[in-house]
Amino acid sequence: MTDIRIVPLVKGDGVGPEVTRAMVEILDAAVSKAYGEDRRIEWQEVLAGGKAFEQCGTYLPDETLEAFKKYHIGIKGPLMTPVGGGIRSLNVALRQELDLFVCQRPVRWFKGVASPVRHPENVDMVIFRENTEDIYAGIEWEAGTPQARKFYDFIHNEMGVNKVRFPETSSFGVKPVSEEGSKRLVREACRYAVGHGLPSVTLVHKGNIMKFTEGGFKKWGYEVAAEEFGEEIASGKLVIKDCICDAFLQNALLKPEDYSVIATLNLNGDYVSDMLAAQVGGIGIAPGANINYTTGDAIFEATHGTAPDIAGKDIVNPCSNVLSGVMMLEYIGWDEAARLVVKALEKSFEAGYATQDLARLMENGKPMGTAAFTGHIVELIGEEKS
């Protein structure tokens, strides 16, 4: 009997269909090579973004959400941001709807890929960014509106706040950070580290200044680690440490080998993810996933945007989407197929074969179009020993 996994698939806008085609071809080849007839992915296209709006008059149809909920996993290409009213961002809407509280970003270097740092091989981290709270929660009021006035009056009159320098022309945002939200994020970071034999979890925060929000994250992080991973910590298998975010951004450049799993709040996580991705080759290659480890719901995604300037030109780098597919394979325990894809990418980059965004920066770069590169990776997978 073939083990069939149904995976809802959003092709995405702009370059989305091209990177999705590449990802599907490469993952199918790897699964077939690894498991023959025993396992197969059945891709089920669901709509979101521009294509959904054209066909259904809505950017995020209920059927799409239902499919993600039913099958617990899904993968998506980049989506355009709707213009005007309603949804601020489809990605944020999906994260909120499914309460995908972990934004997980592995960051590693592939030999051959050009990097702005001297030792990119020392960058090997997995970022756990909190996805539902923080100043990112979208609770803000624009300067000059009655809401901003009302908010200021409340904090000034009722709470005795005298620190707003220009109240009349200030916009305001609220930064909720909770014990539950912090603990569930740090718990999963620790679980991941222990499950993958990784040495440390670093809590990255700005608690020296924002004592109750970012400081709370740090305090609750240490608490949950001590409560639930005491044995691993005592035996030296897991080290929990913390670092102030600005220092972390320096240290991650100067001594990245000191860091393994990173647990951090939403806004810090945004900056940290892109900075680390740049160290290993940039956005064309950085994968990501948004996961609720409690329900098991997970959506894997390319981290770059729709790149309208290069859409349809057969030059987009599909690796971000392909590597998010690798994360999905690992998430469902199809590790051998994941390994085959990674091995093929390693071989390709080492020999200089890559899409032009990467190849033009490589010493021995041999630029390939998206389709040719995809075919090349499929060939390399075929040559692998499984």
CA distance 345 to 353: 9
Smallest distance, ligand NAD to C-beta of residue 72, A: 20
Using DSSP, state whether 373 is helix, strand or coil. Answer: helix
206 a catalytic residue: yes
80 is a site residue for ligand NAD (CB under 6 A): yes
Contact flag: residue 170 with ligand NAD (CB under 6 A)? no
User: Does 369 sit near ligand NAD (CB under 6 A)?
Assistant: no
309 binds ligand NAD (CB under 6 A): yes
Count of positions on this chain that bind ligand NAD (CB under 6 A): 18
Any idea of the CA torsion for 285, 98, 266, 198, to the nearest 10 degrees? -60
Catalytic, 28? Answer no
Instruction: Identify whether the C-beta of residue 249 lies closer than 8 Å to the C-beta of residue 206.
Output: no
Token pair recorded at residue 123: 């960058």
266 vs 306, beta carbon nearer ligand NAD: 306
Among 100, 299, 307, 380, binds ligand NAD (CB under 6 A): 307
Nearer to ligand NAD, 62 or 309 (CB): 309
Nearest residue to the partner ligand NAD, using Cβ: 305
Residues 326, 42, 29, CA angle at the centre, nearest 5°?
A: 50
- Residue 130 or 357 having the CB closest to ligand NAD: 357
Nearer to ligand NAD, 322 or 378 (CB): 322
Binding status of residue 317 toward ligand NAD by CB under 6 A: yes
Structure tokens at 82: 């709707």
Tokens of 90: 């489809």
User: At a CB cut-off of 8 Å and minimum separation 6, what does 33 contact?
Assistant: 337, 340, 381, 382, 384, 386
Which residue, 120 or 282, is less far from ligand NAD as judged by CB? 282
Q: Which residue, among 127, 181, 139, has the nearest Cα to 303 in the 3D structure?
A: 127
- 334 contacts 39 by C-beta, under 8 angstroms: yes
- Under rule CB under 6 A, which residues in 87-106 are in contact with ligand NAD? 91
Burial 101-116 (b: 16+ CB within 10 A, else e): bbbbbbbbbbebbbbe
Among 143, 283, 332, 342, binds ligand NAD (CB under 6 A): 283
Q: Does 327 bind ligand NAD (CB under 6 A)?
A: no
242 is catalytic: no
Per the annotation, the verdict on 136 as an active-site residue is yes
Give the closest residue to 277 by CA, choosing from 117, 130, 166, 152: 117
Is residue 304 involved in binding ligand NAD (CB under 6 A)? yes
Q: CA angle, 30 as apex, 26 and 32 as ends, to 5°?
A: 115
Helix, strand, coil distribution of the chain in percent, nearest 5: 45, 20, 35
**Stretch binding ligand NAD (CB under 6 A), from 77-85, 120-128, 166-174, 265-273:** 77-85
Part of the chain binding ligand NAD (CB under 6 A), chosen from 124-132, 314-322, 344-352, 374-382: 314-322
At which residue do the structure tokens 């980049």 appear? 78
In terms of CB distance, is 268 or 356 closer to ligand NAD? 356
Residue 161 CB coordination number (10 Å): 12
When asked if residue 320 is in the footprint of ligand NAD (CB under 6 A), the reply is yes
> Active site residue: 28, 246, 274, 314, which one?
246
Residue type, 381: I
Catalytic residue among 11, 51, 183, 206: 206
Window contacting ligand NAD (CB under 6 A); options: 31-39, 111-119, 154-162, 305-313: 305-313
- Using the contact rule CB under 6 A, the part of the chain among 40-48, 188-196, 224-232, 302-310 near ligand NAD is 302-310
Task: Decide if residue 310 touches ligand NAD (CB under 6 A).
Answer: yes
Cα atoms in the 13 Å half-sphere on the side-chain side of 233:
15
Whose Cβ is closer to ligand NAD: residue 240's or residue 359's? 359
Q: Are 77 and 68 in contact (CB under 8 A)?
A: no
Residue of 270, 274, 314, 331 with catalytic role: 270
Residue 69 Cα to chain centre, angstroms = 19
Residue 305 in the binding site for ligand NAD (CB under 6 A): yes
Catalytic residues: 136, 206, 246, 270
Binding stretches for ligand NAD (CB under 6 A): 78-81, 91, 283-284, 301, 304-307, 309-310, 316-317, 320, 357
